[in-house]
A and B are shown apart, each in its own frame.
Chain A
Amino acid sequence: MSLKLENISVDNENEVILKDISYEFQPGKIYVLIGRTRSGKTSMMRLVSGLLASDEGSILFRDKDFDGVPIWDRNISMVYQQFINYPNRTVLQNVEFPLLRAGISKADAKARALAMIEKVGLTSFLDRKPGQLSGGQQQRVAIARALVRNADIVLLDEPLMNLDFKLREQLREEFRELFTSAKEAVTIYATTEPAEALILGDELLVLHEGRIIQFGKPADVYENPANVDVARIINDPPMTILNAKIQDGQIIVGGNIKFKSPKHLGDQSNGDYQIGVRANEIVMNGKGDLELEGTITLVEVSGSETLIYADTNAGEVIIQQEGIHNLEIGQKVLAAIDPKRIFLFDGSGSLSSAPGN
């Protein structure tokens, strides 16, 4: 019942779209693809749906080669970023469409469509055309249509990206409810937002430049990013990453700031490394074994926290501080870091050690 991708590669003239993708998706789980724009998320979905052909590798569904199966026989639902609905059909007709195509009787199709429309909260808009609905409502129609037919594979390509901030929050919550309708399906959800990934995903795949660079449970990936790229992708606010050297048990940043290498890093050979610290683990004007002096380059207030960007001798530091602080650009600030909270990445960028909890 699984969806298996084996050594998939897709090129487009000089550009690598996907490289060496191998993964097995199990039904009944929500898989989140996270990565930057153009990292391959959409391509991977188009590959699974059949809209994109692979240059190498194979796709197997239920142990049968998917390549020979035309798109319309694959029983896949897709929700696009851009609210795609059939413009000339009403909401009800839109949601009925896939059911009627599948040969379900008119009565049954209508009943199921109505039930799903109710679930997404659009019962009072049955006779409207998509053009008369707001963005959020249009996307709900698309979602209803995707979920109504109990497809084997449900693909959602950054469905919330074009919606207002607050709508996104709201729909995110509703998704979990809605996805219970896709119990038997392989659900794949693409996003660039770590919060969405962490909230919705049972399993996470991190894509970067066309490759899967890490996969696992969201919490695991968050706590143990495989390398610097993953650390950058999965952390919002961004993780501070500084170049460092290790010399005889000491870590050196910014050329001359030394501190003792913390226990959780273990024994490390001398050489070039990178250290990472989460924004909420850095304390402004506090005390710590590692203290960096910096000049503020940007202050962002987000309600209950303040995000402070500062340039220090060791590199750019990002601090998330509780409370609202009215600071000025150019002000001096001290970033205090507890070495016990440091991530260590070796010279090639791979994770060497993560702070324990």
Chain B
Amino acid sequence: MKKIAKYSFIVLWSLFVLAPLSWALTTSFKPPAAVNNGVTFIPWLQFQPTLNGWKDILGISGYANLIPNMINSIIITFFATLISVVFGGAAAYGLSRFQYGWKKYKNPDIIFFFISQRIMPPAVLAIPFFLLLKSLKLLDTHIGLILVLTSGLMPIVVWLMVDYFNQIPKEIDELAMLEGCNPLQAFSRTILPLSKPGITVASLFSVIFGWNDLFFALVLTFTNVKTLPAAVVALNGTITPFWTLSASAIFAILPLIGLAFVAERFLSKGSLTGANR
């Protein structure tokens, strides 16, 4: 009896979570009539699916073209993630293996300092970043947004990865060094392969936060560089074109869904067993 209850709960919850997505998906294929004249759910039964919503956003019907925005988002998120993970990961490794400190501030304090960056509401940073990028002539550029996003993503990466590295016994690094690797080789040959799950998680977090950033995109970029979330928001006109918006929403998250399937392979369980007893 308990089992039936558990499973029905899971099924219900899944439906609850998937409902908005499926709604958006179906709506993106609806003609305006199907949206405005009452609620419809099932394609082919209640309405005839069309590709108008999609044509609208892909530059085919001339209404809008979100593809350049998608490319912008990909570029910006990719580089922001890359820099965050590479440098953040390196910092995390350092914080895990070595002792840093100044007076009474040691490693845990340094790590907290990193995390504390995220406690600040982004709104607080809007103006300072704006002025900073302006003086560097980096407003409305890819690089500008990448740098700003990195400053927000790196702390999370550091925080996640320090914890992850701490779980890998230090003795493995030592062993590699004793067996002829200098510290960098020890890291790349032994620790790095073991860190795949950690790096994957950190990267995923970075990608998700970076991709979905709307705030800084709106504040720091205008015409030359427009990311996808910003572009989607801009689609809102006097009449709310739900079908177009739905299409753009699905479009905006397609890459993330694709990434999730790809990344799942790397989140395997077996890579760290055997390191400890």
Contacts and interface: CB of A to CB of B under 8 A. Distances in A.
Touch test A–B (CB under 8 Å): yes
Interface of A: 49, 51, 70-74, 76-78, 80, 82-88, 97-98, 101-102, 129-133, 135, 138, 145, 149, 162
Contact of B277 (A82, A86, A132): A82
B36 interface: no
21 contacts: A51-B174, A71-B178, A72-B178, A72-B182, A73-B180, A74-B178, A77-B178, A82-B169, A84-B275, A85-B274, A86-B172, A86-B176, A87-B194, A87-B271, A87-B273, A87-B275, A98-B179, A101-B181, A133-B274, A138-B277, A149-B179
Contacts of A129: 270, 273-274
A138 B273 CA distance: 12
Contact of A101 (B172, B174, B179): B179
B108 interface: no
Nearest to A97: B179
A48 to B, nearest CB: 11
B46 to A, nearest CB: 53
B86 interface: no
A77 B194 CA distance: 22
A87 B274 contact: yes
B193 interface: yes
Most buried by A among B171, B179, B194, B270: B179
A70 B274 CA distance: 28
Contacts, number: 74
A352 to B, nearest CB: 44
B238 interface: no
Q: Which 4 A-B pairs have the closest CB atoms?
A: A131-B274, A131-B273, A101-B180, A130-B274
Nearest to A88: B193
A284 B45 CA distance: 98
B127 interface: no
Nearest to B186: A72
Given A87-B273, A87-B274, A88-B271, A70 B182 contact: yes
Contact of B178 (A78, A87, A135): A78
A223 B178 CA distance: 37
A145 B171 CA distance: 15
A83 B175 CA distance: 11
Interface in B238-277: 270-277
B177 interface: yes
A82 B179 contact: no
Contacts of B272: 87
B171 A84 contact: yes
Contacts of A85: 274-275
Given A130-B274, A135-B277, A162-B277, A84 B175 contact: yes
Nearest to B272: A87
Contacts of A49: 174, 178
Interface string B140-156: 00000000000000000
B190 interface: yes
A83 B276 CA distance: 7
A300 to B, nearest CB: 28
A51 B277 CA distance: 22
A82 B276 contact: yes
A130 B274 CA distance: 5
Nearest to B172: A84
A59 B176 CA distance: 22
B35 to A, nearest CB: 53
Interface in B148-169: 169
B185 to A, nearest CB: 8
Nearest to B270: A131
Given A71-B177, A72-B177, 5 more contacts: A72-B179, A87-B172, A87-B275, A129-B274, A131-B273
Interface string B177-221: 111111001000010011000000000000000000000000000
Contacts of A135: 277
B274 A138 contact: yes
A84 B180 CA distance: 16
Contacts of B178: 49, 71-72, 74, 76-78
Given A84-B169, A101-B180, A78 B274 contact: no
Contacts of B273: 87, 129, 131
Nearest to B196: A88
B103 to A, nearest CB: 15
Nearest to A82: B277
A82 B171 contact: yes
B99 to A, nearest CB: 12
Contacts of A149: 179
A256 B182 CA distance: 67
A10 to B, nearest CB: 16
Contact of A72 (B169, B171, B181, B276): B181
A88 B194 contact: yes
